[in-house]
Every structure is written in structure tokens, then in C-alpha cells.
Amino acid sequence: MRVRRVAKRISECLLETVGEAVAEVILTLLACTLLAGLVLIVYLSWSSSPRLTVAGAGLFSLFLAHGAWKIFRDPAKSRGHRGLAAATTTGFTLTAATAVFLLLYGAGCGCV
């Protein structure tokens, strides 16, 4: 009886360790793919039109700044422009989550 319990615990531990290693590899590959895609987008955009790339980056920065401002400010009493606020807040949240993901898993990418 004891041998079976010990063997079962060891197999569960090994299965968990292998699962975590596989998940780490998958997340690192996903981060490398995402980083390579972002670099490719910037490269193609810059080679097409540097002025439009800078203008687009500026507009995207304003979009993210508005989203951050809506998240971190005190709640307003007016209810105007709720659609824009929702869009910019969602965009800021997704961009921040992507940045944290790339910071944690993109650092292990050998391409950087």
C-alpha cells in the first residue's frame, strides 16, 4: 500500500513539473512570436512611410494616454463619451497586459 501511494505521489509531482515546463516553453514561444510580429509591423510601416509611422505612433500614444487617464482619475459625475472612454480604457488595459507579458516571458527569448 505505501509503495503505491509513494509511486502515485511521485508520478503526480513529475507530471506537474513536466506540465509547468511545457507551459513555460509555450508562453516563451508565444512571447517571441508576438515580439517578432510587432517588430515586423514597425519595420514594414517605417519602410512604407516614416511620417505616417510617427503620426500613427503619436495617435496611438494619445489613445493610450486617454485610456490611462480614464482609469486612474476620480470617477466623473457626467456620463458623456462613454463609448470612447470604454474603448480607450480597454486599449490601455490590453496594451499594459501585453507589455507585462512581454516583460516576463519575452526576456527569455533568444532573439532580443
Residues 6+ apart with CB under 8 A from 27: 105
- Burial label, 92 (beta-carbon count in 10 A; 0-12, 13-18, 19+): buried
Q: What is the pTM of this model?
A: 0.71
pLDDT digit of tens for each residue in the chain (112 aa)? 687 887 788 888 888 888 888 988 888 888 888 888 888 999 999 999 999 999 999 999 999 999 898 888 867 666 666 788 889 989 999 999 998 888 888 776 665 5
